[in-house]
Structure 1
Amino acid sequence: MFQLSIFIAVMSFIFGACIGSFLNVVIHRMPEGQSIALPPSHCPACNHSIPIYCNLPIISFLLLKGKCRFCKAPISIRYPLVELVTGLLALGLFFKFGLTPAALFYFIFGAVLIAISFIDLDHQIIPDKLSLPGIVIFSTSCLFVPQMRFYSVVWGVLAGGGILYFVALFYYFLRKRQGMGGGDIKLLAMIGAATGVKGVFFTLFTGSVFGTLGGAAAMALAGKSGKRQAKIPFGPFLSLGALLYVFWGESIIRWYIDFLN
């Protein structure tokens, strides 16, 4: 039984890393309006098709020493990083949920969050092609996650979209300019569909904490480089908060309540 668990764990990581390789295609092509299916994977520098043996997740990057096999152009460290993170996501979900519908559901949810996060980091946008269908798809969470209830899904979507919408309106009223994009609003609504109303508040709180820390660090770096203002995408921090909730949210909430008492 132990050996079988180890085998499934290894296969979970490999499966996740392979999906991460596909996410790299989504991250690179979707913001440019390109097809994620065609043409096949190719080097963005020399356009040479990448053979299967040069497209192995993580391993190929190490064997090629971070350079294209044909033109020797550097390969971004983001590619193996996305593959590694997605592999670890699959592995972690297997250890938490086992081979269950909940594990598969949250893996798909996490994979979408990873793609959104890296697109937001690169382009400061959250594509509607991911978030809007995500709201609908992940509203089925009550069918796959035993503790989820339909009313929590509904309130999660309404709270997720509504809270940030009113925050954005209030900021615009005070500053007369946008401080938060509509993509963040749709993203939190999608997170609410997958995690329920408790997940929304947990995600918003933890995402704000991490966002504040990340923003302070980015502004400090921007000040050293002579830039006036650093643009801080909020999507990655919301995504991080949502994944923290999936793995440890209930435990953290219980600990916090016990701490207050």
Structure 2
Amino acid sequence: MFPSFTFIAVISFIFGACIGSFLNVVIHRMPVGQSIVSPPSHCPACNNPIPFYFNIPIMSFLILKGKCGFCKAPISLRYPLVELITGLLALGIFFQLGLTPAALFYFIFGSVLIVISFIDLDHQIIPDKLSLPGIIIFSSSCLFVPQMDFVSVVWGILAGGGILYLVAFVYYYLRKHQGMGGGDIKLLAMIGAAIGVKGVFFTLFTGSVFGTIGGVTVLAISEKSEKKQVKIPFGPFLSLGALTYIFWGEGLIRWYIDLLH
């Protein structure tokens, strides 16, 4: 007898949340050059190793009331948030694609985007050790995703990297200083490898819309003295645009075309 749909959905969320716990380690350690394997998870305040019963995704944060079980130092809300986002990602992909190779591919892709987004938010960098191997790894999309083929992969990489490179070049030529980092260029090339050239244009458009909304919101709530110092990374908005394409892109494109007619 096959497991019920509800059971698989619950397991998908739990699996995603557990992966999210590991993503927290990567987000915290990779930018500072620490190993993501050792030492085991520990409290940054008291350095006590975190036992498994204090390391249950989302639940441990709630049970411990957001504090270390040993020294009572506050635990960042970031940890359960990443676990929740990754759990919802796994659940959403299961609803969208079922238990298929494409679902596994896009879950891995989405997990990398989550790591990149939070690192970019914290440090304003997108590590090459994620984006460059990601271009190669996610070029395999034509093997896992039915609607992708090798031509789409190649054009996706060229369009993704080329468009932002051109934007950055023109901006530098006009303003004489760098307005967009090379990390964003490599990220969009990686996105193009995973979702193709159509996905690149969709991601760039929706990412710009999300970025504009996010930027206006941040500036609106910032103090006057802080406005000139505010730096808003583009990576999280590109990542959000790519995930939007995976879940709703085709439907939104059809809706827009019908609207024009």
Question: Does the TM-score normalized on the shorter chain lie above 0.5?
Answer: yes
Question: Residue 29 of structure 1 aligns with which residue?
Answer: 29
Aligned: 1:145 with 2:145: yes
* Contact 1:219 1:229 survives alignment (8 Å): no
Question: Residue 19 of structure 2 aligns with which residue?
Answer: 19
Letter in 1 for 2:114: I
Matches within 5 A, 1:77-226: 77-224=77-224, 226=226
Give the TM-score taking structure 1 as reference length. Answer: 0.98
Please report how far the alpha carbon of residue 222 of structure 1 lies from its aligned counterpart in structure 2 after TM superposition: 2.8
Question: Residue 4 of structure 1 aligns with which residue?
Answer: 4
* Contact 1:168 1:180 survives alignment (8 Å): yes
Letter in 2 for 1:204: L
Letter in 2 for 1:64: L
Question: Residue 243 of structure 2 aligns with which residue?
Answer: 243
Q: Structure 2: which 5+ residue stretches go unaligned?
A: none
Question: Residue 68 of structure 1 aligns with which residue?
Answer: 68
2: CA distance, partners of 1:196 / 1:41: 37
Please report how far the alpha carbon of residue 28 of structure 1 lies from its aligned counterpart in structure 2 after TM superposition: 0.1
Aligned-residue sequence identity (percent) comes to 80
SS in structure 1 of the partner of residue 146 of structure 2: coil
* Contact 1:164 1:185 survives alignment (8 Å): yes
Please report how far the alpha carbon of residue 216 of structure 1 lies from its aligned counterpart in structure 2 after TM superposition: 1.2
Please report how far the alpha carbon of residue 92 of structure 1 lies from its aligned counterpart in structure 2 after TM superposition: 0.4
Please report how far the alpha carbon of residue 230 of structure 1 lies from its aligned counterpart in structure 2 after TM superposition: 1.2
Please report how far the alpha carbon of residue 224 of structure 1 lies from its aligned counterpart in structure 2 after TM superposition: 3.8
- Partner deviation per Cα, 1:114-153 (whole Å, 9 max, x = no partner): 0000000000000011100100000000000001111000
Letter in 2 for 1:121: L
Please report how far the alpha carbon of residue 227 of structure 1 lies from its aligned counterpart in structure 2 after TM superposition: 3.8
Aligned residues: CA RMSD: 1.2
Name the stretch that deviates more: 7-16 or 220-229: 220-229
2: CA distance, partners of 1:215 / 1:170: 22
* Contact 1:20 1:83 survives alignment (8 Å): yes
SS in structure 2 of the partner of residue 236 of structure 1: helix
SS in structure 2 of the partner of residue 140 of structure 1: helix
Letter in 1 for 2:206: T
1: CA distance, partners of 2:41 / 2:92: 28
2: CA distance, partners of 1:86 / 1:224: 35
- Partner deviation per Cα, 1:23-82 (whole Å, 9 max, x = no partner): 000000000000000000000111110000000000000000000011111000000000
2: CA distance, partners of 1:45 / 1:162: 44
Letter in 2 for 1:220: A
2: CA distance, partners of 1:251 / 1:179: 33
2: CA distance, partners of 1:55 / 1:4: 28
* Contact 1:203 1:238 survives alignment (8 Å): yes
Q: 4+ residue stretches of structure 1 with deviation over 4 A?
A: none
Please report how far the alpha carbon of residue 217 of structure 1 lies from its aligned counterpart in structure 2 after TM superposition: 1.4
2: CA distance, partners of 1:209 / 1:165: 19
